[in-house]
Amino acid sequence: MKTLYRGGLVFDGGAEPLAGLGVLVDGATVAAVAPLAEYDGYDGKVVDTSGGTLCPGLIDCHVHLCFGAEPDPGAPLSALSDSAIVMNVLARAQATLANGVTGLRDCGGKNFLELAVRDACNSRRVLGPSLRTTGPIICRVAQNGDHVGRMAQGPDAVAAAVREVVAAGSDTVNIMATGAVPSQATDLGDANYSAAEIAAGLAECRRLDVRCASNAQIPEDIVNVAVNGAASVELGTEMTDDAAAAMIANGVFLVPTLLARQCAWEARHAAGKDTSALTAFIARSQESLRLFYRAGGRIAIGTDCGAPHTPHGGNPRELALLADAGMTPLDVMRSATSLGAQLAGLAGEGRIAPGTFADFLVVGGDPTRAIAMAADPANHRLVVKRGAPIARTTPLGLAA
């Protein structure tokens, strides 16, 4: 079945939005993007986007679908059966899709349970976003919920952990170079892994031709993962000029995950607790982002949804936080679409062009001028996945 989207602006995921274009969808893919005059005589289904913008669906490159934003993420997981966790993962993925996010990279789950949902969504057996998964986080010690991760100490053990995660079917790997930061925003502390351990893990990733995300926050860890071939640095809180230069020279993305820090601040503020440490931590995070952005680095959005106090479905808020930190709305939209798809390895997504998938977000106004049009789901008019409209309250069920 063919559908013509016409009337409003078209943002293709890269260039400034254009007026006067029609986007023709045939089934699950874009058949043509052309001036409206070329559609004279078309008498099929039409979606009127007047007063708004047709955008690629958003891509979030850092979520945790096994976690449900609980203050202590480990306790609920311990109480649930594997089947209950899988059903929760699916419900969270669908809630995220309904809020405009058509692609996700899950950066750490439990016992590879999220892979079943990935396979069901990617094969279109169930409604859901496109998914890429890292499997359990590879980490040196248990901390901050990482007791569900894959513990490994020593270069040989880290390399073996990479092999195990890939053999289980993970699309990518997450090596925690710097220990996670508690919601109270205490000091970052020492590196989680030594330079030798990082080098061994990333060498194994290269040998197996699999991408690696790395939670790296202090400068030496950022440099180590960058020069050893990581695809992305997650968080990057203590960015320096040298760290940014190493990332840019090696083509490494930054995934800032500002939303989780903001949500943690809001939770502490609502509880009447001291927020001074988190306020300082957020300021450092924003300055690190600005440093990397001004240096010309590539940025993809990531929210850490599922982390404490950061619920799934609130993902678009990250766009406003990036703009508040100094990115232009146009660059935020690029990061949220084409750049995110590039990092996650979602071929045919994140762009609107002939042959790409019809994964769309239709918003009011122009998000490249006013980012709230995309960052606030109240301004979302329509979400489309593989050519099919998605209800705001998508039920569990088979894909159309």
pLDDT at 398 over 80: no
**How far is residue 306's CA from residue 207's CA, in Å, rounded to a whole number?**
31
> What pLDDT is attached to residue 244?
98
pLDDT value at residue 123: 97
CA–CA separation, 48 and 7 (whole Å): 6
Confidence tier at 179 by pLDDT (50, 70, 90): confident
CA–CA separation, 305 vs 222, rounded Å?
A: 22
Which residues are registered as beta bridge partners of 300?
none
Q: What are the chain's domains?
A: 2-56+350-390 (2.30.40.10), 58-315 (3.20.20.140)
pLDDT exceeds cutoff 70 at 394: no
Residue 220: φ, ψ to 5°: -65, -35
pTM (two decimals): 0.95
pLDDT at 78: 87
What is the predicted pLDDT for the residue at 75? 81
**pLDDT, mean of residues 115-120:** 98
Instruction: For tokens 């202090």, name the residue.
Output: 218
What integer is the mean pLDDT of 287-309? 97
**CA gap 185, 54 in Å, rounded:** 38
93 pLDDT above the threshold of 80: yes
Question: Positive or negative, the Cα torsion across 368, 371, 373, 375?
Answer: positive
Contacts for 396 with CB less than 8 Å, ≥ 6 apart: 87, 90, 91, 94, 126
Residue 140: per-residue pLDDT = 85
CB 9 within 8 A of CB 370: no
Structure tokens at 374: 């995309």
Q: What is the mean pLDDT of the chain?
A: 93
Query: Above 50 in pLDDT, residue 400?
Result: no
pLDDT class of 171 with cuts at 50, 70, 90: very high
DSSP string, 63-128: E-TT--S-SSTHHHHHHS-HHHHHHHHHHHHHHHHHTTEEEEEE---STTTHHHHHHHHHTTSB--
